[in-house]
Amino acid sequence: MIIAVDGPAASGKGTLAKRLATHYGLAYLDTGRTYRAVALALMEDGVALDDGEAAVRAAGAIDLGALEAPALATAEVGEGASQVAVLPELRTVLVARQQGFAREAARAGRGAVLDGRDIGTVVLPDASVKLFITAEVEERARRRALELTGSEAGPAYERLLAALRSRDARDCGRASSPLRPAADAHILDTTHLDADAAFWLATRVVDEALAA
């Protein structure tokens, strides 16, 4: 079983995807972390984020088993990831590596959950189940502000809202694999749902697909 989970930044797709992987005993890859790892490598080397050749070299050196580093989780690296993610030559390399991860899991007799922006449309168009997790941008900013500062309003909220709007615009507007739901994706709007409710709804979709 291959589950594709896509959606915009801070939609809760990562939390949901991880939980689905644990629940169904599947391998898990956060593909956003692969773009983040490339961005961090370029930033650490002082290389411009539009240097396609350097980005492709960095992508070849990523260890897919070591993407947990806290340095990859920062807002700056997320912003950098969104900038390198517009490079088509980088996407080609990372998509191949992400497909390889799913193939390896299948070879080991295990399915996989991959989350990102283009899993259902480009990376794994034949996935058994496709989920597109979204929420209104104000709600995503509120949740992120609460998580980072303990407060859901004020300057941090305003800053996060502006950052999410600009990341959404870049992720949806780029020429190469823009963020959009696959035609056969199940859309889950979590604006008015908590994490448990979203997980429950997602398992219903997956269980139905398994029973079909």
Binding residues for ligand C5P (CB under 6 A): 9, 31-32, 35-36, 78, 81-82, 85, 116-118, 167, 171
44 versus 76: smaller Cβ distance to ligand C5P: 76
129 close to 186: Cβ distance less than 8 angstroms: yes
Closest distance between ligand C5P and the C-beta of residue 109, in Å? 25
Closest distance between ligand C5P and the C-beta of residue 82, in Å? 4
85 versus 198: smaller Cβ distance to ligand C5P: 85
118 versus 139: smaller Cβ distance to ligand C5P: 118
The closest alpha carbon to 99, from 69, 66, 64, 133, belongs to 64
Closest distance between ligand C5P and the C-beta of residue 49, in Å? 11
How many angstroms separate the CA atoms of 165 and 174, rounded? 14
Chain centroid offset of residue 80 CA: 14
Closest distance between ligand C5P and the C-beta of residue 117, in Å? 4
In whole angstroms, how far apart are CA 114 and each of 100, 206, 211?
Answer: 12, 14, 21
